Amino acid sequence: MVYTDTNGFVDKSGKAFIFEFKVLDLDEDEMTLEDTLAAAHRQITKEKYEAELVARGFAPEKIRKYGSAFRGKECLIG
């Protein structure tokens, strides 16, 4: 069973998943989907999304962080 949390998804096994979705933005110096994916991961770190889950008792090693970068119909997840 998976349910939506404020910053991601949590399942009953104690694993938590943080997802950040971004669209390639040439105005933000993102030239490739890889640049946009890196920006998604920077945002997860900058906004400290993991901290809320750790404060709620989730072990940091059980928290998975994923960024998604989109350009039209293309998508890169990592």
Sequence ranges of the domains in the chain: 2-77
- Give the pLDDT score at 69: 95
Q: pTM value?
A: 0.79
Give the model's confidence band at 13: pLDDT under 50 very low, under 70 low, under 90 confident, else very high: confident
DSSP string, 23-61: E--GGGT--SHHHHHHHHHHHHHHTTHHHHHHHTT--GG
Give mean pLDDT, residues 28-46: 93
Euclidean distance between CA atoms 21 and 58, whole angstroms? 22
63-74 average pLDDT score: 94
Distances (CA, A) of 59 to 15, 16, 52, 62: 8, 9, 11, 5
